[in-house]
Amino acid sequence: MERTFSIIKPDAVKAGKAGKILARIEEAGFRLVAVRQRHLTKAQAEGFYHVHQARPFFGSLVEFMTSGPCITLVLEKNGAIASLRELMGATDPAKAAAGTIRKDFAESIEANAIHGSDGPETAAFEIGYFFAGLELGSGS
């Protein structure tokens, strides 16, 4: 079993789409290991997206991610990382495949409804950033 991290972003939560997105995730065979709604502070968003700090979109990304509540998730499934990325679709919803979360629920390339880890190292960092070990249980 592999674990990955995901965020249902503020745009999707505000639009009342979080339940439908969670349902899609569960229908795709993911087990919800940890789920928590939170409203990120500027410092939390900057720390989470630190890898993008030098990019021109960093400021607007932090502002967007602190604009309202989001839902952070730890998900488990065989091949979880690749499977979630396929389910999410392309970052730009206009380029996302039909039936993907971003095609069906995202508003734009920035307000794109969902985040998912892009690799094992990223997933480990992202899970640890938001969830303490005791919150995750044994995985059984």
Tell me, yes or no, if 115 is annotated catalytic: yes
Closest residue by Cα to residue 84 from 93, 92, 74: 74
Catalytic residue (one of 39, 50, 52, 115): 115
Alpha carbons 102 and 91: distance in angstroms, whole number: 7
Tracing tokens 């602190």 back to the chain, one arrives at: 66
Give Cα 134 distance to the centre of its chain.
21
| Residues taking part in catalysis | 115
